[in-house]
Chains A and B, each alone.
Chain A
Amino acid sequence: MERVISGNEAVAYGAMLSRVQVIPAYPISPQTTIVEALADFCASGMLQADFVKVESEHSAMACCIGAASAGARAFTATSAQGLALMHEVLHWAAGARLPIVMANVNRAMSAPWTMWCDQSDSLSQRDTGWLQFYCEDNQEVLDSIIMAYRISEKVLLPSMVCLDGFILSHTYEQVEIPDVKEVDGYLPPFRPKFKLDVENPHSFSAAFLPDIYMEQRVKMQAAMEEARGVAKEVDQEFGQAFGRSYGILEEYWAEDADILLVTTGTVTGTARVVVDEFRKKGEKVGLLKMKMFRPFPMEDVRRVLQKVRKVAVVDRNISFGATGIFAQEIRSVLHHHGEGTSVFGFIAGLGGRDVTPAVLKEIVEYTKGREAPEGDIAWIGVKP
């Protein structure tokens, strides 16, 4: 069924089609309409789930942890300060190896107070042990929620599916909503190996002493590494089942590119248009779309970037005192592996500033005109 829906509705449809069983919800813009839509689905009987009104985002995630520990498929959604409030329990969810899926509608962090889009909120949770995926359009949002459950339940780590606030969350696009029976075939019910069971009680998440704590961390890292391959398989199977496939990253005119843009989220859609324009002029500009951020697809990124002279990374975030986070990660991946590649780090579009074709052209021209980056950061579109 094709429908014109917002990004937030796409999230809600994705969760409903995944037959989530517990939805602890706490409102925050621009996420709120996700849980509102899910509340409507529950109220109308379209979705058989426990919708739990909680008193904070911290409780929302704590409730997801309880539900998932008991073997339920749990879902919640948040944004910005709400996600930050969850921080402590995000670690817990991952360490307890619970395959929770959460949508994060990207919103810049306050202060100063803002509701507009950038990706600082989710990226500042990068070390919590959660898988992270960034979506380009509403269709990818819906599909990614379903795929995230498949991946998470295989590797037993939670997933965060990110979408740009307002640019996707409140914008309507044509979306193919898969048939629920087909999704059932693709995503079987969650049957965890370990779960709370009163008939067979075990102690969960109790202390690990220094003699084995580290080994548990080794296993978490192994699961993260396994997730790269799992995500690829899950994506391919999704393609076979539904005719849409995204990969964990996507190359666009990358093969022979002299300059390669690296983008995430909705900036990718704009970048495709800009790349097309340069290619029409005969200029070898290409694009690498980063969908998966955690685990970081190190091998794949190396493979693509090693052969490119200049890489222009567009970061819609900043790690204060360092650089844009994607630029940082890419530089570290290329160290010892891509000595001939110059990585230009651009910061653009913070706090809702538009990243227009003109902005991306400026980035390309800047890169074209310099042999090597002048500094670690190039700010784009900042008032003089």
Chain B
Amino acid sequence: MEEKIVIKNLKDVPILSISLQSTLWNKTGNWRYLRPSYLSLRAACSQACPIEQDIPFYLTSLADGKPEEAWQKMLEANPFPSTCGRVCHHPCEVDCNRKEYDGALSINALERYLGDWGMREGSPVGRKIAKRNEKIAVIGSGPAGLSCADHLARKGYAVEVYEAMNEPGGMLRYGIPQYRLPKKILHKEIERIESMGVNIQTGKRFGIDLGMDDLKSYAAVFLAPGAHEEQKPGIPGEDLKGVWPGLSFLKEINSGKRISPGKKVIVVGGGNTAVDSARVAWRLGSKVTVLYRRAKEDMPAISGEVEEAGKEGVEFIFNVAPVRILGKDGRVKEVECLRTKPGKLDESGRRTPMPIKGSNFLLPASSVILALGERAALSFLPQGMKTGNGLITIDSWGRTNLPGVFAGGDAATGQGYVSQAIASGTRAARAIDRHLRGEIGDPPENAQRTAMFEKINLDYFPPLSRAEVPILSLKEREKEFKEIHGGLSKLKAKKEAGRCFSCGNCIRCHVCLMVCPDVAISFKEKENEYLIDYDHCKGCGICSVECPRSAMTLEEEKWSE
């Protein structure tokens, strides 16, 4: 400080009380015992997403009117946004922090909106120049195989995909009915992957048309053949005419074949194949009953799909199992059923159904669809490959016991959801890249803590109801395979994206800067980041407490001696 100033004349007295010298010397920061800083946390939705997508980033970009930025970032993580926006089981919405407040974000609908926006208006992804010498073979062009291929192409590898069927897409193409996922949407997404330089050869059955020996020129192989072997119940009459394995039934329909299953269809099973088959049969004009040997809450099918099936008039009978299919002249006529009751808990945490003796009853049927699950066909696997529980054995990064051979999708993970298949493909792609670069150990996992709902400052978020997508009326669904769900309008999508709390992620909202009573926070336009002036921050904590989205922390200061 300067020495004391003595004022002797009236003219030297300032008109108002103002220090004559700058007060910059006064480093009030040394009063601080708490230190605020910026720390990004992981949003609960990202945590729940098998693909670990940076959902708050897309949503805030979209809300900011930057769909291109959102879409490009989305594609980097997931090559199937339009597909996932229609068929994903969206665990993101289950964990969304906003559900504790006024309803989870419609993340799934927004993913679809962005994916479809990109198809119409996004700039082309363009051919990726192969920067790497290594070539990689991918077996199977389902969501796992193509996601792995997409990621590898983005990393600069040349990728060759071999597909057994005539069209690419795997279960997306052959397993999921049109009314949930129109073929042209899938086609466009696959086209985009091909446009990056990924080559897909169809009609090439691994183990029949080509074997492991034919892949020697490839530096790595990713196996994603899927699960196509359908389980049979092993009951009398299962080979009668009019009895269909569920997946085969869906494949026929999805290949454009005309099938009329008759007036009364019995579907057996509780998974997505069963529910899809039931709703397809209903659309073909049949009256449909689904038999499931456990309770409704045990069904592995997506709950929303089960609900809509019920609305359409599909009848569900729970705790019942078929014991015999009866026919007349070699054709199905009736199904004999037996009631069950829940028994002991099994490995999956569900109760094993126990038959109730003497509870037999008959149901008439013109067709029976058996959807008891699918398994991977493992007979064609290369010698020495480790398997277990009917699956290719892999670690969490898709590595098999054979060096350079990776696997994913339904044949390796045993998980049935599309997003899980995509995740297995993208994780394997990262592991393959690491392997080919000769790096040891696992690729880095996201170690961020998750932003909790309790830390969201709700004062900044006026209640807004969740946007719901339009759905066809029951009348419009009859005898039609028209897409059942509509998309969000541009206006609705932007508004819905604006509901995102962006948990744990700074969106440069400037609240910290505005509330700081010491003007100790500044924003660096060029670097797009905040700077805390610790010389003058007194550690009052207002910035961190006020932060609407828990992107700041406040920790005790460790002053050095």
Chain A residues closer than 8 Å to B22, beta-carbon distance:
200-202
Chain A residues closer than 8 Å to B210, beta-carbon distance:
none
A215–B15 Cα distance when bound, in Å, is: 9
Q: Are B16 and A194 in contact (CB under 8 A)?
A: yes
Q: Are B7 and A97 in contact (CB under 8 A)?
A: no
Chain A CB within 8 A of B19 CB = yes
- Return B297 CB to nearest CB of chain A, in Å: 49
Chain A residues closer than 8 Å to B16, beta-carbon distance:
95-97, 156, 194, 204-205, 216
- Interface 0/1 of B4-36, CB less than 8 Å to A: 000100100111111101111000000000000
A234–B58 Cα distance when bound, in Å, is: 56
A201–B25 Cα distance when bound, in Å, is: 10
Chain B residues closer than 8 Å to A203, beta-carbon distance:
18-19, 23
- Return B401 CB to nearest CB of chain A, in Å: 63
Q: Give the interface centre of B16, B19, B21, B23 by most chain A CB atoms within 10 Å.
A: B16
Describe B's contact surface by its main secondary structure.
Answer: loop
Chain B CB within 8 A of A218 CB = yes
Chain A CB within 8 A of B129 CB = no
A207–B16 Cα distance when bound, in Å, is: 11
Q: Tell me how many residues of B have a C-beta within 8 Å of chain A.
A: 14
Chain B residues closer than 8 Å to A95, beta-carbon distance:
16-17
- Interface 0/1 of B514-543, CB less than 8 Å to A: 000001000000000000000000000000
Chain B CB within 8 A of A208 CB = yes
Chain B CB within 8 A of A198 CB = yes
Q: Are B7 and A212 in contact (CB under 8 A)?
A: yes
A206–B20 Cα distance when bound, in Å, is: 12
Chain B CB within 8 A of A371 CB = no
A69–B17 Cα distance when bound, in Å, is: 12
Q: Are B7 and A216 in contact (CB under 8 A)?
A: no
Chain B CB within 8 A of A219 CB = yes
- Give the residue of B10, B18, B23 whose beta carbon is less than 8 angstroms from that of A194: B18
Q: Are B23 and A201 in contact (CB under 8 A)?
A: yes
Chain A residues closer than 8 Å to B23, beta-carbon distance:
201-203
Instruction: Kindly count the residue-residue contacts between A and B in the assembled complex, taking CB atoms under 8 Å apart.
Output: 52
Chain A residues closer than 8 Å to B19, beta-carbon distance:
202-204, 206
- Return A91 CB to nearest CB of chain B, in Å: 13
Chain B CB within 8 A of A211 CB = yes
A159–B13 Cα distance when bound, in Å, is: 24
- Return A208 CB to nearest CB of chain B, in Å: 5
Q: Are B17 and A96 in contact (CB under 8 A)?
A: yes
Q: Are B17 and A204 in contact (CB under 8 A)?
A: yes
Chain B residues closer than 8 Å to A201, beta-carbon distance:
22-24
Chain B CB within 8 A of A64 CB = no
Chain B residues closer than 8 Å to A96, beta-carbon distance:
16-17
Chain B CB within 8 A of A223 CB = yes
- Give the residue of A198, A212, A220 whose beta carbon is less than 8 angstroms from that of B519: A198
- Give the residue of A97, A202, A205, A211 whose beta carbon is less than 8 angstroms from that of B15: A97
Q: Which residue of A lies closest to B520 (CB)?
A: A198
Q: Are A219 and B17 in contact (CB under 8 A)?
A: no
- Give the residue of A204, A207, A211, A218 whose beta carbon is less than 8 angstroms from that of B18: A204
- Give the residue of B17, B21, B24 whose beta carbon is less than 8 angstroms from that of A208: B17
Q: With A201-B22, A201-B23, A202-B22 as known contacts, state yes or no: A215 contacts B17, CB within 8 Å.
A: no
Q: Give the interface centre of B18, B21, B519 by most chain A CB atoms within 10 Å.
A: B18
- Give the residue of A156, A206, A207, A211 whose beta carbon is less than 8 angstroms from that of B7: A211
For this complex, into which size category does the number of interface residues on chain A fall? 20 to 34
- Return B239 CB to nearest CB of chain A, in Å: 74
A201–B13 Cα distance when bound, in Å, is: 19
Q: Are A216 and B17 in contact (CB under 8 A)?
A: yes
- Give the residue of A202, A205, A207, A212 whose beta carbon is less than 8 angstroms from that of B13: A212
Q: With A202-B22, A215-B10 as known contacts, state yes or no: A207 contacts B17, CB within 8 Å.
A: yes
- Return B418 CB to nearest CB of chain A, in Å: 46
Residues of chain B from 411 to 438 with CB closer than 8 A to chain A in the complex: none
A180–B24 Cα distance when bound, in Å, is: 40
A202–B17 Cα distance when bound, in Å, is: 10
A205–B18 Cα distance when bound, in Å, is: 6
- Interface 0/1 of A273-317, CB less than 8 Å to B: 000000000000000000000000000000000000000000000
Chain A residues closer than 8 Å to B10, beta-carbon distance:
215, 218-219
- Return A152 CB to nearest CB of chain B, in Å: 14
Chain B residues closer than 8 Å to A220, beta-carbon distance:
15
Residues of chain A from 158 to 209 with CB closer than 8 A to chain B in the complex: 194, 198, 200-208
A194–B14 Cα distance when bound, in Å, is: 10
Q: Which residue of A lies closest to B15 (CB)?
A: A219
- Return B325 CB to nearest CB of chain A, in Å: 71
- Return B408 CB to nearest CB of chain A, in Å: 55
Chain A residues closer than 8 Å to B18, beta-carbon distance:
194, 202-205
Chain A residues closer than 8 Å to B14, beta-carbon distance:
216
Chain A residues closer than 8 Å to B21, beta-carbon distance:
202
A208–B20 Cα distance when bound, in Å, is: 12
- Return B381 CB to nearest CB of chain A, in Å: 68
A223–B16 Cα distance when bound, in Å, is: 12
Q: Which residue of A lies closest to B9 (CB)?
A: A215
Chain A residues closer than 8 Å to B7, beta-carbon distance:
211-212, 215
Chain A residues closer than 8 Å to B15, beta-carbon distance:
97, 156, 216, 219-220, 223
A27–B162 Cα distance when bound, in Å, is: 73
Q: Which residue of A lies closest to B16 (CB)?
A: A97
Q: Give the interface centre of A198, A200, A206, A223 by most chain B CB atoms within 10 Å.
A: A198
Chain B residues closer than 8 Å to A200, beta-carbon distance:
22, 24
- Return A148 CB to nearest CB of chain B, in Å: 19
Q: Which residue of A lies closest to B14 (CB)?
A: A216
Q: Are B17 and A205 in contact (CB under 8 A)?
A: yes
Chain A residues closer than 8 Å to B17, beta-carbon distance:
95-96, 204-208, 216
Q: Which residue of B lies closest to A193 (CB)?
A: B15
Chain B residues closer than 8 Å to A219, beta-carbon distance:
10, 13, 15
A211–B22 Cα distance when bound, in Å, is: 22
A211–B15 Cα distance when bound, in Å, is: 14
- Return B232 CB to nearest CB of chain A, in Å: 69
Residues of chain A from 203 to 247 with CB closer than 8 A to chain B in the complex: 203-208, 211-212, 215-216, 218-220, 223
Q: Give the interface centre of B7, B15, B21, B519 by most chain A CB atoms within 10 Å.
A: B15
A204–B16 Cα distance when bound, in Å, is: 8
Q: Give the interface centre of A95, A97, A220, A223 by most chain B CB atoms within 10 Å.
A: A97
A212–B10 Cα distance when bound, in Å, is: 8
- Return B462 CB to nearest CB of chain A, in Å: 14
- Return A22 CB to nearest CB of chain B, in Å: 14
- Return A90 CB to nearest CB of chain B, in Å: 16
Q: Which residue of A lies closest to B6 (CB)?
A: A211
A248–B10 Cα distance when bound, in Å, is: 30
A201–B520 Cα distance when bound, in Å, is: 12
A198–B14 Cα distance when bound, in Å, is: 20
A212–B18 Cα distance when bound, in Å, is: 12
- Return A132 CB to nearest CB of chain B, in Å: 21
Chain A residues closer than 8 Å to B519, beta-carbon distance:
198
- Return A201 CB to nearest CB of chain B, in Å: 5
- Return B16 CB to nearest CB of chain A, in Å: 4
- Return B373 CB to nearest CB of chain A, in Å: 60
- Interface 0/1 of A252-282, CB less than 8 Å to B: 0000000000000000000000000000000
Q: Which residue of B lies closest to A194 (CB)?
A: B18
Q: Which residue of A lies closest to B13 (CB)?
A: A215
Enumerate 10 A-B pairs (CB-CB under 8 Å) in ascending A order: A95-B16, A156-B15, A156-B16, A205-B16, A205-B18, A206-B19, A208-B17, A216-B15, A216-B16, A219-B15
A interface, CB within 8 angstroms of B: 95-97, 156, 194, 198, 200-208, 211-212, 215-216, 218-220, 223
B interface, CB within 8 angstroms of A: 7, 10, 13-19, 21-24, 519
In addition to A202-B23, A205-B17, 20 A-B residue pairs with Cβ atoms within 8 Å of each other are A95-B16, A95-B17, A194-B18, A201-B22, A201-B23, A202-B21, A202-B22, A203-B18, A204-B17, A205-B16, A206-B17, A211-B7, A212-B13, A215-B10, A215-B13, A216-B13, A216-B15, A216-B16, A218-B10, A219-B10
Q: Which 7 A-B pairs have the closest CB atoms?
A: A203-B19, A215-B13, A97-B16, A198-B519, A201-B23, A202-B19, A205-B17
